Amino acid sequence: MLDDGDDIHPLFHGAPKTTEFKKLRKRLVQDVREAVEQYGMIEPGARWLVCLSGGKDSYTLLAVLHELKWRGLLPVELLACNLDQGQPGFPATVLPEFLEKMGVPHRIEYQDTYSIVTDKVPAGRTYCALCSRLRRGHLYRVAREEGCSAVVLGHHRDDILETFFMNLFHGGRLATMPPKLVNEEGDLFVYRPLAHVAEADCERFARAMDYPVIPCDLCGSQDGLQRQQVKQILDGWEKNSPGRRNVMFRALMNIRPSHMLDPKLFDFAGLLRSVNWTNSSDIPDLH
């Protein structure tokens, strides 16, 4: 990789020279490129709204997408967007200053969804559902205003697994965050290019690059969240059996509808035997 002067994007200036970091960077680029190609995210000439929360995942997303574009492997225009939701104490200058310094085209959108969420959600309940719904609505609006065809989110492999188990344990369905979908209005794609990336890799990368990570103090400050409980379960499984997360994630990519129980996905009623026994004497003795 070229790491000097004008040969790289400013997002990678000062990157560690260690072999370990170079392997991490290469793995991230390969994982994102694989997801982008596998799920058909590229429309040449398209414009993507890359959502930047200020967390480790969105910084990783932004950097890797710009690296792919820098290499000529992502022929789309990238516009970073941060939605300032009016949380008390939110460091509003951090992201604009960072993006200006990095030379990243961006838009900062201010909408006080914090007050709405804290007013509408009863005490003791989690904010996540309403917060995400309001945030999603504003991001879709911004994408339309900016002429973007896709809203790009920083959800990674572990987010996808946690959502799957939350739906399994609490929602009574087998579902998770897909790497690619179309919004309800049908006019925007929603992409998750970090779908194959481990959360631990995002954390290592953002820490090594010393990006100015901003924690979420809205839902992150609440105890007993279902997602945190699921995360603890997955952490325990991973500790007892390293690599378990990756195996489970691969299972989500290897579904056999005929071996599940959903008659909407497989025609169990129309399933026929290949041999039709005509009389009792033809039936083999199974004893």
Residue at 286 is within a domain = no
| Cα→Cα distances 284→91, 275, 276, 281, Å | 76, 12, 12, 8
Q: Buried b / exposed e across 210-232, counting CB within 10 Å, b at 16+?
A: ebebbeeebbeeeeeeeeeebbe
Rounded to whole angstroms, the Cα distance separating 45 from 119 reads 42
Residue at 12 is within a domain = yes
Pairing of strands 47-51, 150-152: parallel
Residue at 248 is within a domain = yes
Residue at 114 is within a domain = yes
Structural domain span for residue 215: 5-253
Residue at 180 is within a domain = yes
How many domains, the chain? Answer: 1
Rounded to whole angstroms, the Cα distance separating 175 from 191 reads 16
CATH number of the domain to which 241 belongs: 3.40.50.620
| Ranges assigned E (strand) in 105-209 | 106-110, 150-152, 180-182, 189-191
Q: Residue 10 has which token pair? A: 């400013």
Q: Check: CB of residue 49 under 8 Å from CB of residue 143.
A: yes
How many CB atoms are located within 10 Å of the residue 25 CB?
22
Residue at 272 is within a domain = no
Q: What share of the chain is helix, strand, coil (3-state, %, to 5)?
A: 45, 10, 45
Residue at 16 is within a domain = yes
Residue at 267 is within a domain = no
pTM of the model: 0.88
| pLDDT tens for each residue of the chain, 287 residues long | 345 444 578 899 889 999 999 999 999 999 999 999 999 999 988 999 999 999 999 999 999 999 999 999 999 999 999 998 888 888 989 999 999 999 999 999 999 888 888 877 877 677 777 888 888 999 999 999 999 999 999 999 999 999 999 999 989 999 999 999 999 999 999 999 999 999 999 999 999 999 999 976 555 444 447 888 899 999 999 999 999 999 999 999 999 999 999 999 999 999 999 876 555 566 666 55
